[in-house]
Structure 1
Amino acid sequence: MSRRPAVAALGGGHGLFASLQALQYVTDQITAIVTVADDGGSSGRLREEFDILPPGDLRMALAALCDPSEWGLQWRDALQHRFAGDGPLGGHPLGNLMIASLWDLLGDPVAGLDLVGRLVEARGRVLPMAIEPVRIEAQVRGADPDQPEQISTVTGQVKVATTTGDVLSVGLHPDPPRPCTEALDAVGDADWIVLGPGSWFTSVIPHLLVPDLRDALVHTKARRLLTLNVTMHTGETAGYTAADHLEVLAAHAPELHLDVVLADPSVVTDSGDQLRDAAQSLGATVVFTQVADSDAPGTHDPLRLAAAYRDIFEL
C-alpha cells in the first residue's frame, strides 16, 4: 500500500482487544470505538455510583494500544492491575479508577480518554460509541426454562450475555443514545471499518443501535470488514452458525453494506456455502484463513489476525 490505512475498529471487551493488538502491526492510524453498555463488575459499580460511562472496555482498548516500549508496557500493566480483597477498592482495576477520576476533573469523557492515551503513549485513539451509558434490552425466548416458548425482556449486558434463552433481538435504552461526535468523524474519515470480533449481541450489534453511528457506517466511503469470532456457540449465541451471525447483523441494520467477512475455517460447520450466501446478501465476499490461536482455544492469534488484516487491506 502507498500509505497505511486509517482504520476505525468497533467492538468491546476481549474481542476488540485482540483486534487492536493485531491492527498495530498493520497501521499507525487506529481509532477504537467502544461499546458503553457494560453493567457488571467494576464498570457496573462505577457507573451506578457516579452515573458515568462504564470504563472497563475503554480501559482495555487503551491497554491494547499502549506503546510496546518499557514505559508503555509498564503502564499497560498498571491500567490492568486489579485491586484484591473485599474492601471498597476490591475488584477495581487501576485504569477504571484513573479514567473515572479524569472524567470527574475534566467533565469530558473524550478529553479524559485522550489524556490517558497520552500518558500511556497509545498507538491510536479510544472513543466511546455514545457519550452516555446505555443499557441493553433483549427480547429472549425461553429465558424462563419452565416456559420455553415465552418471549420476555431481559435487561442489562451481563444478563443478556449469560441468558439460557434464545436472544431474538436487542435494543438500547435510552433510545436513541447521544452519539460521540468524534467517533462519527472517525468513521467518516476511515479507509477501513473493522467490526468485531466480540460477543455478538453485547459488543458488536450495539454499535448499530446508535442511529447516528449506524448512518455513519452506512454512508462512509470506507470499506467494511466484519471479523467473525473463533467460537460460535457462546452463551448469548448458543446454537448459532456463522451464517446466523450475519443474518442477525442484517436484521438489526438491513441497510448496512459489507465488503469482506473474515472467518477462521474452524467456525464453518458445513461446506461454507451458507456463510458465503449470507455474506453475499450483504455485498461481501468471505475470506477464510486461520486466525485462531492454537495454544489458546477460542481466542485470536494477534500475528495471524494481523496478517489477515494486512492481506485484506491490500485487496
Structure 2
Amino acid sequence: MYRPAVTAFGGGHGLAVSLRALRRITDRITAVVTVADNGGSSGRLREEFDCLPPGDLRRALAALCADDFVGRTWAQVLQARFRGSGVLAGHAIGNLLIAGLWQELGDPVAGLDMVGQLLGTRGRVLPMALTPLDIAAEVVGLDPLQPDETYTLTGQSTVAKTRAEVIKVRLDPPDPPACPTVLEAIAASDVVVLGPGSWFTSVMPHLLVPQIVEAIMDSHATKILTLNVAGADETDGFSPARHLEVIAEHEPRIRFDVVLADRSFAGSDSHLESFAHNLGARIVEADLAMRDGSARHDPLRLASAYADIMGVRIR
C-alpha cells in the first residue's frame, strides 16, 4: 500500500497532534521543529549548556511513539517531569535524555535519531536549524494608555503569553541557515504540512528561514496549510482569513495547494476562500475539532482529513 513521505513543520502541541494524525497514515514522517523556545526546562538547559531547546523536539518524539503498551509507556516517560524542589525540579525526563545525548555525540541530528531508535518512533524528528534562535515580535496594545504604540517583545515564552496584538515576528539572528537534513527531507517529500500550532511562535518561524522557504517552493510535494480550529492566545480574535494574511505578510512568495480548515471555524469567514486563492490554494473544510468543544484538533478527525487530501487510507 502506498505510504507518502511527509514533512511536517511546527512546534509544541500543534505539531504533536498533527504527528499523531499523520502516523495513522504513514511511517515515512519527518517532523521539523522550531528551536526558539526559551522558557521552562528547555530554557534552563539551553542557557546552561548552550544547546538547542529540547522541549518541542521531545513532544514530537513522544507523538511519534508507537500506539502500543511500550510506545505509550515511553511517551509517558519522555513527558514526565521531576518533582520536588531541587535542581532537577520541573525538568522533563526526555529533555535531559536528549541534552545528554547531544553532549556525548556532539551532533543534534544524531542525538535525536538515537532517541528515535530507542523509542521505536514512526518517523524522524529534526530541528529547524542547528543553532538556537530567538523570536522578537512587534506588538500593539501592550499599554492600555497608549493603545496604538508599537513595542518589541523578545523571547518565545514572552511572545506566546502576550495579550497584546502581534503585528510581526522575526528571528534573531535573522535568516539563519536551515538544518541541511531538513532540506533533504523536503526534497524527498510527497507532502509538506505546515501547522497547526501557535501561529507566530510555532508556525511562522519556519517561513522566516529562507532556505526552508526556497526548498518548499522548489518541491513538487502537495503543500498543506492546516489552520487552527479557533483564534486563540497569540491570534485571539483573528479570523481564518487573517491567519492566511499573516502568512502572506511575512512571506509573500509562499504558495500552498490546500488550506485545511475546521468547518465551524471556516464557516464564520466569508473572505477565507479569496485569501486562500491568493496563496494558490483551495479550501478543504472538515470537522476537525475535539467533540468536547475545546479548541483542539481531534487526531482521528485530522488523520481522516489528511488521508482524503492525500488519497490514501488510514491504517
- Aligned counterparts, 1:133-282, within 5 A: 133-232=132-231, 234-268=232-266, 270=268, 272-282=269-279
Cα displacement string for residues 283-311 of structure 1 (whole angstroms, at most 9, x for unaligned residues): 10001100111126111111111000000
Contact 2:36 2:135 in 1 (8 A): yes
Contact 1:265 1:289 in 2 (8 A): yes
> Where do 5+ consecutive residues of structure 1 fail to align?
none
Cα displacement string for residues 259-289 of structure 1 (whole angstroms, at most 9, x for unaligned residues): 001111221363x431111100001000110
**Structure 2 equivalent of residue 111 of structure 1:** 110
| SS of alignment partner, residue 224 of structure 1 | strand
**Structure 2 equivalent of residue 313 of structure 1:** 310
| SS of alignment partner, residue 83 of structure 1 | coil
Percent pairwise identity: 56
Post-superposition shift, 1:74? Answer: 1.6
Contact 2:266 2:285 in 1 (8 A): no
| SS of alignment partner, residue 273 of structure 1 | coil
- Aligned counterparts, 1:7-26, within 5 A: 7-26=6-25
**Structure 2 equivalent of residue 38 of structure 1:** 37
1:67 corresponds to 2:61: no
Contact 1:66 1:73 in 2 (8 A): yes
**Structure 2 equivalent of residue 291 of structure 1:** 288
Contact 1:208 1:252 in 2 (8 A): yes
Identify which range, 172-181 or 186-195, moves more after superposition.
172-181
> Where do 5+ consecutive residues of structure 2 fail to align?
none
1:128 corresponds to 2:127: yes
CA–CA distance in structure 1, aligned partners of residues 68 and 309 of structure 2? 28
**Structure 2 equivalent of residue 301 of structure 1:** 298
Post-superposition shift, 1:143? Answer: 2.0
Q: Cα RMSD (Å) of the superposition?
A: 1.2
Which residue type is aligned with residue 220 of structure 2? K
CA–CA distance in structure 2, aligned partners of residues 191 and 123 of structure 1? 17
Contact 1:140 1:165 in 2 (8 A): yes
| TM-score normalised by length of structure 2 | 0.96
| SS of alignment partner, residue 79 of structure 1 | helix
Q: Where has structure 1 moved over 3 Å in runs of 4 or more?
A: none
Which residue type is aligned with residue 7 of structure 2? A
Number of residue-to-residue matches in the alignment: 312
Post-superposition shift, 1:167? Answer: 0.7
Which residue type is aligned with residue 299 of structure 1? R
Identify which range, 216-225 or 99-108, moves more after superposition.
216-225
| TM-score normalised by length of structure 1 | 0.96
Which residue type is aligned with residue 110 of structure 2? A
CA–CA distance in structure 2, aligned partners of residues 11 and 188 of structure 1? 18
Which residue type is aligned with residue 35 of structure 1? T
